[in-house]
């Protein structure tokens, strides 16, 4: 099933519309001068525009991370192991105190020096933010600098995940001048990474240049030009026509029209979920939540919309977390028994166009839910235009593609944010004392089997109350032209271009 047909014609039109979008703004008077001033550049078609002017205290932080301009104290390895970045080492002094040694000789892009005072300032700004970064939901720290290159973090509980929390791009360390009045953050020329963010053009584009004073290995390319292209068909066209070198999230529907050597499929820790508004007139009734859950045909969605380039959801956590399914099998949740139907109950489902498949999924969900007696309206807009309404609970259900380990490599933060009573991204307005207690218990378990079992127990409790309907786990398709090498294919969506990326 495909919406907005014929897609190929639309794609070709959008391809023409993109011409010039990636113009670097530099023209040369003659061919010789052009050769002399030619720079190596990576042109990126990004999935979504920034929501808060590229503030690191929001999800915009992941753009700064993917462009390698803002850095954190701790890096997270491919296996979610905490590694040094701006902090060279750390240790747990006692149950509630961690001590971090700050890397010496690091310069911010504005020329100022990184020290403990700058680190404390950035972390305190995150702690004081309203709303807080997702990774800090339920967290209260006291941050101090006992000397110029030491930072102490005092916690309210024994937190085994603290170093991993500090790897969240939302806790990036920026120079002092980046932080303005009223909580505003302007990250231009304020990071420590191999690329300097030099220009923010609203929700249109951004420019970055190589930072020759970088503390690590010097970047191999000189410039990054990022264009925000929410329309998936336009992103695919940009790669096909050579307007973009790297493209985020090529739509499945466009695969057949693309050079297959330019496409790279990555299994993601990302779940497409239908969040049910537990305070709406309809879904405040558990019987109606059960009716919706029973009505959903995941196999039809995966086969029809994703052309089998996705995995059926057996829970909130997918196959990118290899440990989840074995633990789930050992601790199965209660099955849905009986038959549930609606009786003309009217609901509105919201979703967004930025991920090309979601509107198609919404149409299928409408059909499936209407088959059991719901009357369904759809509200589909760009994400930036619909997020506030979704968070305010203005929909009976909201369809979202959600990363489950985006912040710390551990799903507890995502579960706290989305399903905790005080969660900052609780689209379903869900609140359960039982789930909150299970989340608190899981968050205090050491990394490993005990924590994994506690996490699946939380998942079971959420889904046994039918707070949401997990549909599928995505495999994101990243586009790369033959011109580029060393582009990161990161399942956690933290890295894209780094100092090792090359452009011919």
User: Running along the chain, 504 residues long, what does each successive block of 10 average in pLDDT?
Assistant: 38 43 50 55 96 93 97 89 96 97 98 98 96 86 98 94 94 97 94 98 97 97 97 95 96 92 92 98 98 98 95 94 93 93 97 94 98 98 94 97 85 93 95 97 90 97 98 94 95 93 93
Tell me the CA distances in angstroms from 271 to 300, 314, 342, 474, one per residue in order.
16, 10, 26, 6
Q: Please identify, in words, the CATH class of the domain defined by 7-58+193-245+481-503.
A: alpha beta
Spatial separation of the C-alpha atoms in residues 323 and 199, rounded to whole Å:
42
Res 485: pLDDT: 96
Tens digit of pLDDT for each residue in 216-268?
999 999 999 999 999 999 999 999 999 999 999 999 989 999 999 999 998 88
| pLDDT at residue 268, rounded to an integer | 87
Are the beta carbons of 134 and 415 closer than 8 angstroms? no
Closest CA to 423 of 410, 440, 409, 408: 440
**Torsion-angle region of 128 (φ positive above 0: left; ψ -120 to 50: alpha; else: beta):** alpha
Reading the block at residue 404, the tokens are 């489950």
Q: What is the pLDDT of residue 21?
A: 55
Q: What is the largest CA-CA distance in the chain?
A: 77
Give Cα 225 to chain centroid, integer Å.
20
What does the pLDDT read at residue 117? 98
Q: Is-contact 446 164, C-beta < 8 A? A: no
Strand pairing report for 502-503 and 484-485:
antiparallel
- Check if the beta carbon of residue 252 is closer than 8 Å to that of residue 236: no
- What is d(CA 214, CA 294) in angstroms, rounded to the nearest whole number? 54
Q: Which residues contact 38 (CB under 8 A, 6 or more apart)?
A: none
Specify the pLDDT at position 462.
98
Give the number of other CB atoms < 10 A from CB of residue 224.
29
Homologous superfamily (CATH) of 74-178 is Dipeptide-binding Protein; Domain 1 (3.90.76.10)
Domain ranges of the chain: 7-58+193-245+481-503, 74-178, 269-474
Q: How many whole angstroms separate alpha carbon 11 and alpha carbon 156?
A: 53
CATH architecture, domain 269-474: Roll (3.10)
């Amino acid at each position: 099933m495909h919406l907005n047909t014929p897609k190929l014609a639309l794609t070709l039109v959008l391809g023409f519309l993109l011409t010039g979008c990636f113009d670097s703004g530099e023209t040369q008077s003659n061919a010789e001068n052009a050769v002399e001033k030619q720079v190596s550049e990576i042109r990126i078609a990004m999935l979504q525009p920034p929501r808060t002017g590229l503030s690191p205290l929001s999800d915009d932080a992941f753009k700064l991370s993917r462009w390698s301009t803002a850095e954190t104290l701790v890096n997270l390895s491919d296996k979610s192991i905490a590694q040094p970045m701006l902090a060279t080492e750390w240790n747990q002094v006692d149950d509630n105190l961690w001590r971090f040694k700050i890397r010496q000789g690091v310069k911010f892009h504005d020329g100022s020096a990184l020290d403990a005072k700058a680190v404390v300032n950035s972390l305190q700004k995150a702690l004081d933010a309203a709303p807080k970064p997702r990774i800090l939901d339920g967290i209260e720290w006291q941050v101090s600098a006992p000397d110029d290159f030491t930072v102490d973090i005092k916690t309210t509980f024994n937190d085994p995940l603290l170093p991993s929390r500090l790897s969240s791009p939302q806790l990036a360390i920026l120079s002092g001048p980046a932080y303005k009045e009223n909580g505003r953050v302007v990250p231009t020329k304020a990071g420590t990474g191999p690329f300097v963010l030099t220009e923010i053009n609203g929700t249109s584009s951004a420019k970055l240049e190589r930072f020759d004073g970088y503390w690590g290995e010097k970047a191999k390319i000189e410039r990054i030009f990022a264009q925000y292209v929410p329309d998936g068909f336009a992103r695919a066209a940009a790669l096909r026509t050579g307007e973009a070198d790297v493209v985020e999230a090529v739509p499945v529907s466009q695969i057949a029209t693309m050079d297959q050597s330019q496409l790279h499929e990555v299994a993601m820790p990302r779940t497409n979920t239908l969040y049910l508004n537990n305070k709406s007139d309809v879904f405040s009734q558990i019987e109606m939540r059960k009716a919706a859950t029973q009505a959903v045909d995941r196999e039809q969605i995966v086969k029809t919309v994703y052309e089998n380039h996705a995995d059926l959801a057996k829970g909130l956590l997918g196959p990118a977390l290899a440990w989840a399914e074995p633990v789930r099998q050992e601790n199965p949740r209660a099955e849905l028994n009986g038959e549930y139907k609606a009786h003309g109950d009217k609901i509105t489902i919201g979703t967004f166009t930025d991920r090309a498949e979601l509107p198609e999924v919404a149409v299928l969900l409408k059909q499936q839910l209407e088959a059991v007696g719901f009357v369904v309206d759809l509200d589909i807009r760009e994400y930036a235009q619909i997020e506030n309404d979704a968070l305010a609970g203005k929909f009976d259900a909201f369809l979202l593609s959600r990363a489950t380990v985006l912040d710390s490599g551990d799903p507890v933060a995502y579960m706290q944010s989305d399903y905790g009573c005080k969660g900052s991204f609780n689209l379903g307005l869900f609140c359960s004392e039982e789930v909150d207690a299970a989340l608190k218990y899981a968050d205090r378990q050491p990394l490993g089997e005990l924590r994994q079992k506690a996490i699946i127990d939380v998942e079971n409790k959420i889904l046994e109350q039918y707070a949401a309907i997990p549909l599928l786990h995505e495999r994101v398709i990243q586009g790369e032209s033959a011109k580029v090498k060393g582009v990161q294919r990161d399942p956690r969506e933290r890295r894209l271009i780094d100092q090792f990326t090359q452009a011919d």
